[in-house]
Structure 1
Amino acid sequence: MTKIEYRNEWKARVDSFKSSGMGVTAWCKANDVNKERFKYWLYKRNTEPVAKKSKQWIAIETAPVELNKQDNMLIVNVGRASIQIKLPPTS
């Protein structure tokens, strides 16, 4: 069994438990699943960061930008972070 298949199997078990309305002990006994192993996967499935599940780009609106023509540098500030981009010379 591959790692992905193994994870999918445990996801299906957790989903089955959640839709059963049973308690952990009763569900594990009824499904012949090790209770401690199940509790590990239940915790793991409930604590997965949302970022792992969905990644996407978002559009942002920017204020007008003034370039420092002497340095040919674009500086982007986000909070305390700063990104400096050296631009090619303009003709």
Structure 2
Amino acid sequence: MTHTERRQQWKARIEAYRASDLSAKEFCKQHNISEKQLYYWLRKESPKEQTDNTVQWLPVSLSGQEDTSGCDFLTVKVGPVVIEVRQGFNEKLLLDVVKVLSTLC
């Protein structure tokens, strides 16, 4: 079996597992495969499914309980990068920087 054929076989198995509503142990028992193999391929295939280079903005709201009066900056983390955002920042510049970092991280 070629590498491509094996990958396609496991992709089909993963789809069947996710659609099955079975535990990993029960699915593996029914399909005569080891749990170790299933978890290996789940980890191996998952990052590829999530490589969607789109930026998603999430709403942020403060509960009002934090005292932000002494804080003059906001820390933003994008992957391993940390950005300090201070009052009066350029919104377009921050958006552009985050978009670039999101594609690189």
TM-score band (shorter)?
Answer: 0.5 to 0.7
Provide the residue aligned with 2:42 in structure 1.
Answer: 42
Structure 1 stretches of at least 4 aligned residues deviating more than 6 Å after TM superposition: none
Residue 30 of structure 2 aligns with an amino acid whose one-letter code is: A
TM-score, normalised via structure 1 length: 0.52
Provide the residue aligned with 2:30 in structure 1.
Answer: 30
Q: CA RMSD in A?
A: 2.3
Q: CA deviation at 1:50?
A: 1.9
Structure 1 gaps, min length 5:
52-77, 80-91
> In the aligned structure 1, how far is the partner of 2:4 from the partner of 2:10?
10
Structure richer in helix, relative to its length: 2
SS of corresponding position for 1:50: coil
> In the aligned structure 2, how far is the partner of 1:8 from the partner of 1:38?
14
Residue 45 of structure 2 aligns with an amino acid whose one-letter code is: R
Structure 2 gaps, min length 5:
53-95, 98-105
Aligned residue runs from structure 1 range 4-23, under 5 A: 4-23=4-23
Q: CA deviation at 1:18?
A: 0.5
Q: CA deviation at 1:25?
A: 0.5
Q: Whose Rg is larger?
A: 1
TM-score, normalised via structure 2 length: 0.46
The structure whose RCO (Cα within 8 Å, separation 6+) is larger is 2
Residues matched between the structures, number: 55
SS of corresponding position for 2:22: coil
> In the aligned structure 1, how far is the partner of 2:8 from the partner of 2:27?
18
